[in-house]
Amino acid sequence: MKRFSIRGLLAGARRSRHAVVAAKAAASSVPALVALLLFAAAATFSLFSLGSFHSPGAAAGDGGDVAAAACDAARGRGEWVRDAGAAPYYTNATCGFIQEYQNCMKHARPSLEFLRWRWRPGGAGGEGCEPLGRFDAARFFRLVRGKSMLFVGDSLASSHVTSLMCALSQVEAPARSRDAAAGFEHWRFPAHGFAVAYFWTPFQVRWRLTRGPPEAVGPERQGEVFAGPSDLHLDEPDERWTSAAMAHDYVVLSASHWFRRPAVYYQHGHVVGCHDCGDSNITAILKPEHAQRAAFRTVLGAMARLDGFNGTAILRTVAPTHYENGGWFDGGECTATRPVDETEDGAPEMAATEAEFYRAQVEEFTAAARRGNGAQARLRLMDVTRMMLLRPDGHPDRHGHGGGEHDGFEIDCLHWCLPGAIDAWNDLLLQMIGSSST
């Protein structure tokens, strides 16, 4: 698998290195004629500058000055700076919501150095910018009183919810409930008039297990979905969560990694291709990045024009994996002990498919925001890709479980320790909500 460096992306030039496989998924190399016909606007995959896209917080016409734009945390530019006195917002002793696979403190991670870093936004080196303000739960509650937030996505979206719930629970313990039939998990903070919902979906568009029940399955059957294949209706948003979105003031969207998995793709109710689906009757092969682009185009377009939704839709970009010397289940590891310093370590690299996922998210977001100009829904971009690419030290590696508890998946370089690096996503979320409230 090719991997792209951030420096290479910025320069618009491809480079390759030794294959580092994040998931064992075969992809056929037949000509992508069908993909070109179905996704004409997505068919060209020349690389792009990560700095060439504006976050909604600094969109054209906002009137912000150049200095303010350069320090816009949502743009994804900046560096991690060490804060020796930093303390986590919570620990596994003060928050009971942390799941085993991300509980690095419980499972004896040898050093807590990964908790001593803060994100400083800005251009190269972040000159002139202050580190991102620390999450203030009391201020967050003041800003969201009387409101609600929906998170939609996969296990990384679940980790984001858990991180936020742990941080907020230091002020008020939430009431937690599940609606298994509808697929939602709910968290309520009655003293502060705030509610959070989480809907698990690896694809966001309408989908089901190809050899499963007619409806989509829930997170308890992730293993079956991982084995696949799944049927993905790329032009149909999943109404189970889009209909619920109208009742929320904020909707945080994410998910990309599952598009690597085997799938059969549909448009207008008809099969248009597949990826690693094992069906000899389907001759059109579509790459995962084509499918992911089409799905995000559908979902973002739906949110931009969703009748009855007067809130803000936030797209959080892909968080890269950091497997080295192998991949899932075959010896891959992530043993880094500090963030990447580009001035010392050189430009980090991102798997080629993840780079294309990121490209598609940003381009489709930009297109949806442009098409939705004047729509009631407000689209915002939370660009975390580069900041997380610089954190190979933030994953559980071997410290996200007890010995032998993961059925062979012993090393995790996809998910993130909690507390940990992704707590900065809540710093970003607070800044975005605060800026939209002023």
Q: What is the pLDDT of residue 52?
A: 34
Please check whether residue 46 lies inside any domain of the structure: no
Q: Which residues of the chain have pLDDT under 70?
A: 1-70, 73-75, 123-128, 373-376, 402-409, 437-438
Please check whether residue 363 lies inside any domain of the structure: yes
Owning domain of residue 368: 3-22+72-437
Q: What is the pLDDT of residue 284?
A: 87
User: How many Å is the Cα radius of gyration of the chain?
Assistant: 21
Q: What is the pLDDT of residue 240?
A: 95
Q: What is the pLDDT of residue 30?
A: 32
The residue behind tokens 């739960």 is: 137
Please check whether residue 53 lies inside any domain of the structure: no
Of 157, 56, 155, which is closest to residue 409 (Cα–Cα)? 155
Please check whether residue 331 lies inside any domain of the structure: yes
Q: What is the pLDDT of residue 374?
A: 60
Q: What is the pLDDT of residue 2?
A: 44
Annotated catalytic, 415? yes
Do 268 and 234 form a contact (C-beta atoms < 8 A)?
no
Mean pLDDT of the chain: 82
pTM of the model: 0.84
**DSSP class of 397:** B
Q: Is 60 exposed, middle or buried (0-12, 13-18, 19+ CB in 10 A)?
A: exposed
Of 261, 275, 200, 207, which is closest to residue 235 (Cα–Cα)? 207
Q: Residue 254 — φ and ψ, nearest 5°? A: -165, 180
Among 5, 55, 148, 155, the active-site one is 155
Among 397, 415, 423, 427, the active-site one is 415
Please give the tally of structural domains in the chain: 1
Annotated catalytic, 270? no
Q: What is the pLDDT of residue 295?
A: 97
User: Residue 383: CB partners within 8 Å, gap ≥ 6?
Assistant: 53, 55, 74, 75, 76, 317, 362
3-state helix, strand, coil in the chain (%, to 5): 35, 20, 45
User: Residue 436: CB partners within 8 Å, gap ≥ 6?
Assistant: 312, 378, 380
Please check whether residue 172 lies inside any domain of the structure: yes
Please check whether residue 56 lies inside any domain of the structure: no
Q: What is the pLDDT of residue 435?
A: 86
Please check whether residue 33 lies inside any domain of the structure: no
Annotated catalytic, 268? no
Please check whether residue 117 lies inside any domain of the structure: yes
CATH of the domain at 370: 3.40.50.1110
Q: For 300-328, write each residue's pLDDT tens digit.
A: 999 988 888 989 999 999 999 999 988 77
Among 72, 154, 235, 412, the active-site one is 412
Instruction: For residues 331 and 410, give the distance between their C-alpha atoms in angstroms, rounded to a whole number.
Output: 9
Q: What is the pLDDT of residue 108?
A: 84
